[in-house]
Amino acid sequence: MSGDGLLVTVDSHVHRVPAQVKVVALFVFVLAVVSTPAGIFWAFGLYAVILATAVVVARLPLPVVSRRLAVETPFIVFALLLPFVATGPQIDVLGVQLSQTGVLGAWNVLAKGTLGVVAAILLSATTAPRDLLGGLERLRLPATLVAILSFMVRYLSVVSDDLHRMRIARESRGYTGGRVGHLKAVAGGVGSLFVRSFERGERVHLAMRSRGYTGRMPTLGQPGATRSQWAQGLAISLLAVVIAVAARVVAS
């Protein structure tokens, strides 16, 4: 687990957009997508084109993006269940009776969910964790929360390496304790991981106080975005809002 998140280190226009602009832009975009009535298929086509363009401009390798889409799999199951579970008028699909609203609902979940995941991948692959936190700080996220996030990101790799080493140690000893004993071993390791993480947290805090910390964390110093940077960054999102409004008008 890396403290680099999912960052893909290439240079592109998208990478250079300030983090706070990207966060706002993506929220607005996804909100627009979620507000679009499910039946207006052309709207979703447009969204997909917009996102695909952004992925290309960001120079993200396609295999990387599609691999990360795999996180979607759990709720695909839910989506596929909907046609069988939902009520309302039935239609015939390949000889199977499916709920009409259920099929539309499945499409709704799949389309919006996938677009949402790609948007999130776009954000995480083009923004270094430090810059993302700096952007959140500029967006007035409370300083304590930014500090907690910052420490979490910094020590993610340390803690999960600890866990990994524990697992390797356990497996190297060819653990054959039987099921009940097995849980005890894993949980014991996790328990001691908590103690170690807690103690490390205390030591870090003491290292901070040793260097004069009295409660205020230094800011991450993310520079503010200019008006033109905001305009550039929000352009796609505002386009999406226009599409969403148009779709609503057409649907009503």
Partner 1 sequence: MSGPAIHVERLVFAYPDGRQALFGVDFTVERGERVALLGPNGAGKTTLVLHLNGILGSVAGGTGSGRIQIGGTGLHREHLPEVRRKVGLVFQDPDDQLFMPTVRDDVAFGPANLGLRGAELDERVHEALVQVGMHDHADLAPHHLSFGQRRRVAVATVLAMRPEVLVLDEPSSNLDPAARRELADILAGLDVTLLMITHDLPYALQLCERSLLMDNGRIVADGKTRDLLGDADLMSAHRLELPYGFNPLSVPGPER
Partner 2 sequence: MRFGRNKIKNDQVHVPDGFFNAPTSVATGLIAAGAVGFSLQRANREIRETGPALAGLTAAFVFAVQMVNFPVGAGTSGHLLGGALAAALVGPWTAVLVMSTVLLVQGLLFADGGLTALGTNITLMGLITVLVGYFLIRAVLRVLPRRVGSVVPAATFGALVSVPVAALAFTGLYAIGGAVDIPIGKLATAMVGWHILVGIGEAVITAAVLSAVVATRPDLVYAARHLQQDLVLVDADGNTSTVSPDKPIAAKPAGRSLGVGVAVTLVVAGGLSLFASAHPDGLEFVGAKLGFESAAKGSAVAGSPLADYGVSGIGNSEVSGALAGIIGVLITIVVGLGIAKLASLRANKAS
190 binds partner 2 (CB under 8 A): yes
Nearest partner of 137 among 6, 19, 229, 234, judged by Cα: 19
Tell the smallest beta-carbon distance from residue 119 to partner 1 (Å).
25
Nearest partner of 123 among 251, 247, 236, judged by Cα: 236
Map residues 172-211 to x or -, x wherever contact with partner 1 holds by CB under 8 A: ----------------------------x--xx-xxxxxx
Map residues 150-179 to x or -, x wherever contact with partner 2 holds by CB under 8 A: xxxxxxx-xxx-xxx--------------x
Instruction: Please give the single-letter amino acid code of residue 2.
Output: S
Long-range contacts, stretch 143-152, CB < 8 angstroms, 24+ apart = 143/216, 143/217, 143/219, 146/217, 146/220, 147/217, 150/217, 150/220, 151/201, 151/204
Question: In sequence order, what are the residues at sequence separation of 6 or more whose Cβ sits closer than 8 angstroms to the Cβ of residue 123?
Answer: 22, 23, 26, 132
Candidates 34, 175, 213, 223: give the one binding partner 1 (CB under 8 A).
213
Tokens of 124: 């995480």
Candidates 57, 217, 238, 241: give the one binding partner 2 (CB under 8 A).
217
Residue 230 interacts with, from partner 1, partner 2, none (CB under 5-8 Å by kind) = none
Instruction: Indicate the DSSP class of residue 70.
Output: G
Task: Measure the CA–CA gap between 250 and 239, rounded to whole angstroms.
Answer: 17
Map residues 93-132 to x or -, x wherever contact with partner 1 holds by CB under 8 A: ------------------------------------xx--
Tell the smallest beta-carbon distance from residue 209 to partner 1 (Å).
7
Map residues 73-92 to x or -, x wherever contact with partner 2 holds by CB under 8 A: -xx------x--xxxx----
Would you tell me how many other CB atoms lie within 10 Å of the CB of residue 223? 10
Q: Binding residues for partner 1, per CB under 8 A?
A: 2-4, 129-130, 133, 150-151, 153-155, 157-158, 200, 203-204, 206-214, 218, 220
